[in-house]
Structure 1
């Protein structure tokens, strides 16, 4: 598979994951609990990172927003921060991916585009890790309260928003890894091509130098003997005697 196809596949995966993470932040059902009081009346309790609601059998919901951020539980504040960080990192990663992909015309040389694509892959991986940590932390709190026999308040179960957040995190991590691996493959291919060109140039210069040496040895005139030149001079002196 070519590097361009790998980058396109990675961009589709990471963009889909980023959209799922963004929809998870304001999703309603992070945790859900059903209370079947009677045959006629059924109430559904659910909550997310911003409010806590109850829905009756007629579909009417009564919600109570979390008023004070400082008065919230620590795990809710941590989940908020991690999800916001995941969305911001995914946004920056999308911009860098569009600049660093080989199918685009911006970004400069191939080396610069490879660096930008690698940075985009790292951003998406970090985004997936943040979303995965947020959903896992929230789910751990739900399961801890559910299986605690000493916890006497309303018990909840895992909501659909957690599964959407996990799916988005996995897609971002996979897409970011494909970005990094595609950059590594392109760098290794360019290095092998450069090494081949260097070896070819070195062998060509060696052959050229050898050929020139051969020509020089063939065209070189034999040196004159000193004894022969001295004899000629002696013959010239006696020629007029």
Structure 2
């Protein structure tokens, strides 16, 4: 396959991946718990508890949501600290990954063979190498964030399964979007590395 096509395909995959990761930062229902619907009308008894990276909410059967924002960016509720302690690490990993990914996209765009900026071929290869490494680092950082969130949620779910007084939260859709997006970012960086390897082979 042509090197330019591989680079364009890698650029598209990584861009879609970063788009999904950015969307998950503002999406609701990172974790969700549902109670009610038994022993009577579900319209009266149903309730949903859900949370995001920035707030936790309660929605009743009338579709009215009551939310409480976390006080600051790095603070969670003291009474639920054992459940949400990894939330700070998840935020940090995602923000670091997105910061790195911003520069990765710039370097890779300049270093691609189909662009007419970036200087001579050797310099463009160097920029593409730096961008690919940054893409891979950012993708791994985001993937680790979603895995950490999922692992902590699963740990709480299974260790407190016998206690009926504790709400059992389940993984929401944003986490799955994030896992797909971070995997796409890593795959895009691998495609960039493949083109760099082929360029080095042809130069020999």
Could you say whether these structures have the same fold, taking a TM-score greater than 0.5 normalized by the shorter chain as the test?
yes
CA distance in 2, matches of 1:134, 1:181: 26
Query: Is residue 2:82 matched to residue 1:86?
Result: no
| 1: CA distance, partners of 2:200 / 2:147 | 36
Q: Give the length in aligned residue pairs.
A: 191
1:34 and 2:45 correspond: no
Provide the rounded CA distance (Å) in 2 between the counterparts of 1:70 and 1:172.
Answer: 26
Counterpart of 1:181 in 2: which secondary structure?
helix
User: For the pair shown, which has the larger CA radius of gyration, 1 or 2?
Assistant: 1
Per the alignment, residue 209 of structure 1 pairs with: none
* Counterpart in the other structure of 1:104: 115
Describe how 1:1-241 pairs up with structure 2 within 5 A.
1-37=1-37, 38-39=40-41, 40-41=43-44, 42-69=46-73, 71-72=75-76, 73=81, 74-149=85-160, 152-191=165-204
- Using the size of structure 1 for normalisation, the TM-score is 0.75
Deviation string, structure 1 residues 19-68 (Cα, Å, up to 9, x no partner): 11111112111101111154222111110111000112222111011114
Structure of greater relative contact order (alpha carbons < 8 Å, 6+ residues apart): 2
In the aligned structure 2, how far is the partner of 1:112 from the partner of 1:91? 20
Runs of 4+, deviation exceeding 4 Å = 68-71
1:127-157: CA deviations, max 9, x gaps? 1111111111111111111111465422100
- Post-superposition Cα deviations, 1:94-143, rounded to whole Å, max 9, x if no partner, equal 11111000111111111111111111111111111111111111111111
Structure 1's unaligned 5+ residue stretches are 192-241
Distance 2:74 2:100 in 1: 25
Distance 2:100 2:19 in 1: 12
Contact 2:54 2:73 in 1 (8 A): no
Q: What is the TM-score with the length of structure 2 in the denominator?
A: 0.89
Q: What secondary structure is seen at the aligned counterpart in 2 of 1:14?
A: helix
Change over 3 Å in CA distance of 1:177–1:70 after alignment to 2:
closer
RMSD of aligned C-alpha atoms?
Answer: 1.4
SS of aligned partner of 1:147: helix
Q: What runs of 5+ residues in structure 2 fail to find an aligned partner?
A: none
